[in-house]
Structure formats: C-alpha cells, structure tokens
Structure 1
Amino acid sequence: MSDVAAYPVIAPARIPLQAPPAAARSPAIARASQKDGQRCTACSMRSICMPQGLTPREMQRIESFICPSRTIRQGETIYRANDSFQSIYAVRAGSFKTVVMHRDGREQVTGFHLAGDSLGLDGVCFGHHSCDAIAIEDSNVCIIPFHLLEAMCREVKAVQQHLHRIMGGEIVRESSQMMLLGTMSAEQRVATFLLNLSDRLRMRGYSPAEFHLRMTREEIGSYLGIKLETVSRMLSKFQRDGLVDIHGKDIRILDHERLVSV
C-alpha cells in the first residue's frame, strides 16, 4: 500500500449530546427540540433504519426511549476513539465519516455514513469506541441508549432481528472493504466507490445517476487507500472515457454498465 498518502491530523471539537434540563431551556430552544424530536413514524428514513412490522404500541415504546434528534455541525464529532460506549446513533440527515488515527498521526477514513445509517456499534465489543465519528456536513442524528434497545430486543423479535441485520451489514461492509483494498486496482477502487454510493442513494429514494460528493477527494483517497492525485487522475480518466460527467463535486454517471465493467 505504498500509494497511501499522509494527511494532517484533524481534531474537531466534540459537542455534548446531553440535552439541557427542560427548565433551563428557552421557549425557542424547547420548540426547536420538539421539532427535532418528531416521531419516527413521520421520518423519511424510517423504512431503512427502523424494524418493519412493529405494532403501534411497540413503535410508541421505541419512540419513548429515542432521545430527541440533535444537530451536529460540520467538523464536530459525536464520539471519539476510547470514549465510553453508551448509545448508538441513527443518521437522520446529512453524512459522517469514521476515522482512526495511525501512530504517526495520519488519519485513516474507515467509512462514510449517510442518512438512514447507524453509528456507534463499534463500541459494543469492548465497551468503548474504536474510532472517531465526524460530521462532513451539518447533520442530524437520533440517539438510542443501547441498554434500552437491548432490553427491547429481548422482548420484541423484530427489533432483535433488525439489530442483527445492522450488525451483519457492518461485517459485510468491512469484508468488502478488505477485498477492495487487497485485490482491486486504483481504477477499480474508484469505480466501485462511485457505484456503491450510487446504489446507497438509490435505496434512499435519491437519484443514483446524479449526486453531490459530500466528502473531499483526500477523504476518498484515505478510504480507498490511494493518494489524492490518484483519485483525481481516475476521475479524469472516467470523464475522458465518457463514463461520468464531473463538475467539481457534482457527479453524473453516464454509462453505468461500463463503470461496472472497469
């Protein structure tokens, strides 16, 4: 992996996720909190991040222990490596990157998380988080205390099965990442990244052919294990070959089949 570039350490501020007591909030803050805490049944991401087939009573119970959603500004963290594991987070809007720091201070991006994805399950194994979760744009998350979720898993099979599917998806994602880094050329890595992002956006009801990259080319390179210059060179090649049309961070896939065959 001699193509991996060294990047400066990013150390954004972490914000507290505990809401202030109701008595200490101004009316404006209270109204904003109520708006943020709209019911899961009204959320556009419900079909992705919530179990299917719950009874109204079971849905009400889940909603009762999900903390009001919180806004995370670009560059702020939800949690950092070695923080105590307490909750998992459902991305309601926006996007995040998860990163680990090498001993020499380089940042390694390990994943990009979109609306509907979950964050924080890395803390289940040892009781603390193994990476930083950083917003790459202004985002919104719902906070789910894990001990309450575990208790409901013991009583409601659909919730247990859904949590198992999420954990299984994390295993598949990590194994796919290992294959991408271990067996694919730089050209294949960039093509696979674009196709994967396209498919994830399609599942969320967005256009799979036209989208805006929220992450930088440096972050893409870190995730794919290649240099910034290599990412830019591959994207330029795809454009010359008529596979994509690129304007800054705006991507339009012109020939999906040929991109798959790269």
Structure 2
Amino acid sequence: MATPTLDLITLRKGCASCSLQQLCLPAGINLRELQELEAIVKRKRPVEVGERLFRQGDRLDAVFVARDGAFKTVLVNEDGDEQVIGFHLPGELVGLDALGTGVHRCEAVALTRANVCEVPFDELSNVAAHVPGLQRQLMRVIGQSVGRDQDHREMLVRRQANERIALFLHGLSERLRTIGEPSETIRLPMSREDIARFLGLALETVSRGFTRLQEDGVISVHGRKVQILDVAELDRLAHGSEPPGDRARVRA
C-alpha cells in the first residue's frame, strides 16, 4: 500500500515547530509551489524505540524529520559497540550525514516512540531547483547541523567532566528553545549511558557530574527530568569562563 501524503492542513499543523516549516513554506511561495512541496512529504508509520531509520552503508534515499520523539545517530564498530555522535529532537533533520558521499556513515536509532516525515532527497532537490528560497532554507538547516557537530567537538576537548555535561545541557536547552519547547525543564530522551558515549566519558563519571551540578545548585535532577536552576552558572560552565570571584581577584 502506498504511503499517503500529508494534506495541507496536517502539514501546517504538524510542522508548526519544525525545521521543515522553513523548507516547505519559504517567503513568497505560491500555491502551485506549495502543492509541489506538500506532494513529496510523506508520513511514515510510527517508529518504535530502538528502530532504525537507516543503517551504515545505506544509500541516501531520503531525509527525515521527527514530528515528535527523538533519535540518536551512532557509529557501530565490528564488535557491535556504539559510539553516539548526535541526538536529534523534533523538527531537526536526520540523514544529512550522507550528503557528501550519498551513503550513510552512521545509523539513526529511535530513542522514543516517534512519528517522522520522510522527504525523498531526489524529489526535494528537484523541487528546490525551481522553488525560490527553498535552497537557501535548506542550506540554513544544513548549517545548523554543522554547528551542532562543532559543538560536539568542543565538548570532547573539555578537560573537566562537569564542563562537558554543562555544555551538553546548555546546548540541549537552546535547541529546545528553538523548537518552541520549555528550555529550563528538560526531559532527557536519552539514557545516561548514551550521554556518556556522546561525551566520551565513563558512565560513573557522568553520574558524578550530574550529582556535582545538583549539589552546586546549578540543576535539579529527578530521573530523566532536569530542571535548570542557575542559568547564568550553567552558561558560565558551558563556555569555560572564570567564576566572578576569580575575575575580581585577578583585577585586584
């Protein structure tokens, strides 16, 4: 049975907080162009926890965006061990890793039950070729993905575990703000083990880091719910700046 396309009302409602809203509805788009875009966006069946959108070595056929739920992207070695290289929230495109070679270098795994929209890449490219503004919007989304990769590299060079964790939580908070979600109350879709693999730390180190941030009054942790209590201090730790007292002593 063919996968049904989204009708316009559903498209507008489902993509209200989604990066695809900017792709599908660029400024100045006319009705005919909008219908072309609408026709290529397909609704996939719900994706279950642990299910993969694509695997390493798969050809780039489509890019995906979670209407809800979250995903992780992982590299899997010959022994089956996973290295987590990214997390993807609702509204963020998944599958851009294959843009350079046409082949996926990683796997996308559902962290939660999710609903995703699938956009066949060749069709998206064809429509973008003659829809004004669409290519610019696509480049913007690609740039945001590159920025997240750079943030990840910055995390890995931090020496202090609590700084890596602070930068991780700070970045997650900013991304939630971007998609219109509360940014100071974070429900982590990923496990502590996934966070450890993403930050290049031992699981015990991550647990101690969360505990230290909580004891210092920066965050409050209840299971996977993280409440940011001291936004300024989290920002300071994330960006590696000195405490105000230390700066005062230096000036003195």
1:134 alignment partner, one of 80, 85, 109: 109
Name the stretch that deviates more: 252-261 or 44-53.
Answer: 44-53
Q: Deviations over 1:195-241 (max 9, x none)?
A: 11111111222211112111000000101111111111010001111
The match for 1:43 is 14
Q: How big is the alpha-carbon RMSD for the aligned residues of Structure 1 and Structure 2?
A: 2.0
Partner Cα distance (1:231, 1:37) in 2: 44
Q: Is 1:156–2:131 an aligned residue pair? A: yes
Equivalent position of 2:91 in the other structure: 116
**Structure 2 partner of 1:228:** 203
76-85 or 34-43: bigger deviation:
34-43
TM-score (norm 2): 0.86
For 1:144 and 1:42, the matched residues in 2 are separated by 17
1:36 Cα deviation from its structure 2 partner: 9.3
Pair 1:196 & 2:167 matched: no
Cα distance in 2 between the residues matched to 1:146 and 1:95: 21
Query: Once superposed, which parts of structure 1, at least 4 consecutive aligned residues long, lie more than 4 Å away?
Result: 33-38
1:214 match: secondary structure? coil
By how many angstroms is 1:169 displaced? 1.8
| In 1, Cα distance between equivalents of 2:15 and 2:40 | 19
Provide the C-alpha distance between the structure 2 equivalents of 1:37 and 1:184, rounded to a whole number of angstroms.
Answer: 49
Gaps of 5+ in 1: 1-19, 23-32
1:134/1:169 Cα in 2 relative to 1: closer, same or farther (>3 Å)?
same
TM-score computed with the length of structure 1 as normaliser: 0.83
Residue 170 of structure 2 corresponds to residue 170 of structure 1: no
CA contact (8 A) 1:40 1:46 kept: no
Name the CA distance, whole Å, in 2 between partners of 1:160 and 1:180.
31
- How many pairs does the alignment contain? 233
* Corresponding residue number in structure 2 for 1:89: 64
Preserved CA contact (<8 Å) 1:88 1:146:
yes
What is the deviation of 1:21?
A: 4.0
- 1:8 maps to none
In structure 1, what is the Cα distance between the partners aligned to 2:92 and 2:128? Answer: 19
Q: Secondary structure at the match of 1:157?
A: coil
